[in-house]
Homo-oligomer: A and B are copies of this chain.
Amino acid sequence: MLKITVLVSGGGTNLQAIIDAIASGKITNTEIVKVISNVKNAYALERAKNNNISYAYISRKNFETIEDWEKALANEIDCCGTQLIVLAGFLSILPESFTTRYKNKIINVHPALIPSFCGPGFYGLHVHEAALKKGVKVSGATVHFVTEEVDGGPIIAQKAVDVLPGDTPETLQKRIMEQAEWIILPQAIDDIANNRL
C-alpha cells in the first residue's frame, strides 16, 4: 500500500476526489494516512474527519522560523510512514529544503496546461483570470512532480478543457476541476501506486 499525505488549503474537492477514487477502486494499493491543512477552518479537514482520516493544522504563521515550520510539517508527514505527498489545492509555497528533502515524493495539481499560466503568482483564481485575459480557448490542468522551481518539475499528466464564451474565473475554475483535476490527480496517484510511471 502506498501511504499518502494530502496537503490542502481550502474546500478539499481534490481530496474528496482522491477519497472517492480509493472507495470506488479507481485508485488501488493506496491509503491516505494524513491530511494537513495550512488554513485552520479549511473544509478539507471536515472531509478528513468524516472519512476517519488523521488530520492536522500546521500554518507557517504559527512558527517563528521557516525551519521550525518545516520541522513540524516533516514530523507530521514522517510519523505515519508517508511515501508520497500530494498537494491538492495547497496554496503555500514550500521551502527548497522541503522539496529537496522529499525529492520525487511530492506531486501537485496545477489548474492550467503548464508551461502556460504557471510559476510564482499563478495560484487559485489568478490562474484562470490570466487565462481569460490572454483569451485562450483551451486551458486545463497538470499533475507534476514538485521541485524547487515553482510549477517547474517533471509533468506526469495533463488534460485539456475548453474555455467557453462568457466564462468567468469562477466558472472556468469549476469546469477545470470537474473535467480535469478530479480525473488526472487520482489517475496519477494510481499510476505511482502501481509503478506505471
Q: Chain B CB within 10 Å — which of A116, A138, A140, A158 has the most?
A: A138
Asked whether A155 is an interface residue with its Cβ less than 8 Å from the other chain, the reply is yes
Which A142-176 residues have C-beta < 8 A from chain B? 154-155, 157-160
Knowing A113-B113, A115-B116, A116-B116, say if A154 contacts B135 (CB, 8 Å).
yes
What 0/1 readout, one digit per residue, does chain A (108-145) give for beta carbons within 8 Å of chain B?
00000111110000000000000000111110100000
A132 → B minimal CB distance (Å) = 11
Contact partner of A157 among B113, B116, B137, B160, CB < 8 A?
B137
List residues of chain B with CB within 8 A of the CB of A134.
114-115, 155
- Please state the number of chain copies in the assembly: 2
Categorize the interface residue count of chain A. 10 to 19
Q: By the criterion CB–CB under 8 Å, are A138 and B115 in contact? A: no
List residues of chain B with CB within 8 A of the CB of A158.
136-138
Q: By the criterion CB–CB under 8 Å, are B116 and A138 in contact? A: no
Q: By the criterion CB–CB under 8 Å, are A138 and B154 in contact? A: no
Q: Which residue of B lies closest to A161 (CB)?
A: B160
A144 → B minimal CB distance (Å) = 9
**When chains A and B are docked, how far (Å) is the Cα of A115 from the Cα of B134?**
8
List residues of chain B with CB within 8 A of the CB of A138.
113, 140, 158-160
